[in-house]
Amino acid sequence: MTLHRTINLDLDSPLLRVEALTKLYGARIGCADVSFDLYPGEVLGIVGESGSGKSTLLSCLAGHLACDEGRVLYRNRDVVTLSEPERRLLSRTEWAFVHQNPRDGLRMGVSAGGNVGERLMAVGARNYAAIRASATDWLGRVEIAAERIDDRPRQFSGGMQQRLQIARNLVTSPRLVFMDEPTGGLDVSVQARLLDLLRSLVRDMGLSVIIVTHDLAVARLLADRLMVMKDGRVIEQGLTDQVLDDPQHAYTQLLVSSVLQV
């Protein structure tokens, strides 16, 4: 099976098709009957208050959590039925996952350069000089000085750790990036800088992204389309400006107005 970067994408076909996805925790609904298409180069924001099912949905999509019902087709292949080695290969090559907490996405005992280089080695790179050059280049792209390449992530600030996690994830040029509250837990000024960086990387690389956030300002800045979740279900979806400027569902109206009042 070759999942690596040789295939041209059909821009008119969905990269990801999700059909009636359901995940239950016993009797409690994690997410229910979620369906959508994601096209190449699109950024989809999943918003909703705490407990609405955003993380559950993202975990099911990324294969971290087994769903109970439904299908997730990535380039027409059902990823729900992939074997574990196949899913791991996909996660290393075409997919990436940016966690809210950089500690979940970095190896804290490995140098910054090692964190980035390791991903290249995982997809077959063997030339040490080229790997180090690529890691240095990526540190620069996420605004980390080249002289910090041998430092461990724990010597970095929270914002730097998050930028390093982004470099580690993007160095292999994935097609689809899952992001779980990537700016959560950071100071407002650090958040703004990170958002700018993410926005330009997403645009420059033409990435397809599914981003979970409870922050509508983040959604506004990054997402082309939004899905609003409540009690595990999608209650509204559409273009970001449409959903935020003219919300149709009473719950979305409440979400939007509660932000505007702050």
Ligand X SMILES: Nc1ncnc2c1ncn2[C@@H]1O[C@H](COP(=O)(O)OP(=O)(O)OP(=O)(O)O)[C@@H](O)[C@H]1O
Using CB under 6 A as the criterion, which residues of the chain lie in contact with ligand X when the complex forms? 25, 28, 30, 48, 50-56, 214, 232
Q: Please identify, using beta-carbon distances, which residue of 36 and 138 lies nearer to ligand X.
A: 36
Least Å distance, CB 189 to ligand X, is 23
Rounded to the nearest 5 degrees, what angle is found at the Cα of 34, between the Cα atoms of 49 and 216? Answer: 30
Least Å distance, CB 37 to ligand X, is 21
Q: Please identify, using beta-carbon distances, which residue of 47 and 120 lies nearer to ligand X.
A: 47
Least Å distance, CB 177 to ligand X, is 18
Which pair of structure tokens corresponds to residue 80?
A: 């729900």
Q: Please identify, using beta-carbon distances, which residue of 26 and 85 lies nearer to ligand X.
A: 26
185 close to 101: Cβ distance less than 8 angstroms: yes
> How far is 77 from 107, CA to CA, in rounded Å?
31
Least Å distance, CB 95 to ligand X, is 19
Question: Of 65, 94, 64, which Cα lies nearest the Cα of 77?
Answer: 94
Residues ≥6 apart with Cβ < 8 Å to 136: 113, 146, 149
Least Å distance, CB 18 to ligand X, is 15
Q: Please identify, using beta-carbon distances, which residue of 28 and 126 lies nearer to ligand X.
A: 28
How many residues in total does the chain contain?
262
Residues ≥6 apart with Cβ < 8 Å to 39: 11, 12, 13, 14, 15, 208
Residue found under tokens 């918003």: 47
Q: Please identify, using beta-carbon distances, which residue of 60 and 221 lies nearer to ligand X.
A: 60
